[in-house]
Amino acid sequence: MEPLTTQSIAAAHEGQGLIPIAIVVAVAALLGLGFLRLRQPPLVGFILAGVALGPTGFGFISNNANVTLLAEMGVVVLLFFIGMELSIKAFVLSLRQALMVASGQVVAAIAAAGLIALITGASPAEGLILGFVIAMSSTVVAMKMLEDMGELRSETGRIAVGVLIAQDIAVVPMLILVSSLGGEELHIGTIAVKMVIAIAILAALLWWFGRHGKLRIPYSEAVEDKVEILALGALAVCFGAAAISGLAGMSPAYGAFLSGIVIGNSTLRSRVIPVIEPIQSVLLVVFFLSIGLLIDLTFIGENFWSVLSAALIVIAAKTLLNIFLLRKTGSSPQIALIAGLSMAQIGEFSFVLAAAGLSAGVLQFDTYKVAIAVTAVSLLVSPLWVSMMHRLENIASEHLLTYRKAFAVAYARELNEVSKRGAALAGARWSLKLRYRAFRLARHHRRRARIQNRRRSD
C-alpha cells in the first residue's frame, strides 16, 4: 500500500480517484438498461461492461484484485440469502433428486473431460480437473435467471437450488483432491471425513428446523427496527460462518449457506431479508463485472472460434444432460427444461478449481487460459441461450413440427414489429413510386403543351 502524500491526498480531495469508479458504474448501468430494453437479462450488460473496461479493453480497471474480493463477497452473500429464503420442507423433498442429478453431472463431466484428455494427449490429472470445472454450474447466474423468469420460488426453483447446493458441497472434496494432485500424499480419509461432517451438519440443521419452531435470537425485540444493526449483525454472521468454513477446509459459500438457514429460521427473518437484499444486489453486479475482467480479449481474439465453439458445445451438452437427468429422476418436461437451462453454464467455483490446479502444478498455463476463457464465455452466453431456448419451448406447447414454425411463434412479437416496419417501408416506397409517376406524367403534359403552343405561334 502506497504511503499517503500531499499529492495523493490532494488528488483524492479533488475526486480524481472516483473517476474510474464513476465510469464503471455508469457503463454497467447503461449496458444493463440497454439489454433490459432488448428483453435480455441485464447481467449480460454487466459482464460486457467488465470486458470493455478491463485490462484487455479500455483499461479503466487495471488491477482487479479488489474487484475479485468484492465478487467473492457477492457469492458468499448470495448463498447466505438463499439459505434465508430456503423452505426446509421443500428442500428436504428435493434433496434425494438433487444428489442424484449432481452426481450424474460430475460423472458425465469427468468422463467427457477424460475423453478430451485422451484425444489431446493431456494427463489424466488434467482431465480430472477439467471434468470438475465443467461439472460446476453458476449458482449466481442460475438464481438470477430463475428470478428474472419468476421461477425462483416455484417447484422449478426449488429443484434447481437443491442441485446447485449439492454442487457447492461437492466443491469441498474437489478442492482437497485437486490440491493433493500436486505431489502431496492423497488422504482419502481426510476427504471422506470432511464430506461426512459437511453432510452431517446440514442434515442436523434441516432435521432440527423441520421439527422445531422459529429460533428466538436474544435481544431481537431491541434491534428489529434498527436497520444498521440488522445489516451489520447479519453480515457478521454470514462472513463469520464463511470464514470458519474456509478455515476448516470447506467452501466459504457452504458456511454462508448454513448461517443463512439459521437466520432464515429465526424470528428476525422478515426483518433481515429486506435489509440484506440491496447489499446483495450491488455485490452481484460487482461479481458480473469481475467475470468480464477475467475475459482476456487478446487470447479470445486469437482463438475466437475455438473458444466460442467449446463454450456453446459445453452449454448445449450440459442442457441436454440436465434435462435427461431431471426427467429420469421424476421431474416434468416443463420443470426439467427450465431447471436444466438455468444450470447449463460453467460456474464461478470453476475459476477456483482451475486456479487450484494451476497452483498445484497439475494444470498447464495454456490449459488454464482455455478453461478460464471457456468458463467466462459460457457465463456470458448462458443468459442469451436460456432466453432463446425458453422461447422455443413453444415447440412442445404448440406441437410445432419445424424449427421455422417454432421460431415464428417464439419470436412473434419481434417478427410482427419487423413486418410492420417492412410494411411501412413498402408503403413509403409505393407512395414514392406513385409520386414519381405523377411527376413524370405532369412533366410530359407540360412538354406537350409547350410544343403545341410553339406550333400555334408558328
pLDDT of 159 > 80? The answer is: yes
pLDDT of 364 > 80? The answer is: yes
CB 294 within 8 A of CB 48: no
CB 82 within 8 A of CB 143: yes
Torsions phi, psi of 196, nearest 5? -65, -40
Q: Which of 129, 158, 140 is nearest to 367 (CA)?
A: 129
What average pLDDT does the structure give for the chain? Answer: 78
In 198-327, the DSSP E strands lie at none
CA–CA gap between residue 29 and residue 41 (Å, rounded): 13
Task: Quickly state the pLDDT bin for 407 (edges 50, 70, 90).
Answer: very low
Q: pTM for the complete prediction?
A: 0.71
What is the predicted pLDDT for the residue at 248?
Answer: 82
Q: Around Cβ 91, how many Cβ atoms within 10 Å? A: 20
Task: Quickly state the pLDDT bin for 401 (edges 50, 70, 90).
Answer: very low
C-alpha 420, offset from chain centre: 35
Mean pLDDT for 260-274 is 86
What is the predicted pLDDT for the residue at 409?
Answer: 46
Mean pLDDT for 431-449 is 66
C-alpha 352, offset from chain centre: 16
CA–CA–CA angle 355, 360, 363 (5° rounding): 65
Which tens digits make up the pLDDT trace of 295-343? 788 888 888 888 888 888 999 999 999 999 999 998 888 888 888 988 9
- How do the domains of the chain map onto residue ranges? 64-402, 411-457
List all residues 6 or more positions away from 100 whose beta carbon is below 8 Å from its beta carbon: 325, 329
Can you say whether residue 185 is alpha, beta or left, with left for phi > 0 and alpha for psi between -120 and 50 degrees?
beta
Which tens digits make up the pLDDT trace of 241-266? 999 988 887 778 788 888 998 888 88
Q: DSSP letter string over 261-280?
A: HHHHTBTTHHHHHHHHHHHH
Percent of the chain with pLDDT over 70: 78
What is the predicted pLDDT for the residue at 272?
Answer: 86
Which tens digits make up the pLDDT trace of 379-388? 888 877 777 7
320 CB-side CA count, 13 A:
7
Which tens digits make up the pLDDT trace of 96-117? 899 899 999 999 999 988 888 8
CA–CA gap between residue 328 and residue 100 (Å, rounded): 10
The architecture (CATH level 2) of 64-402 comes to Up-down Bundle (1.20)
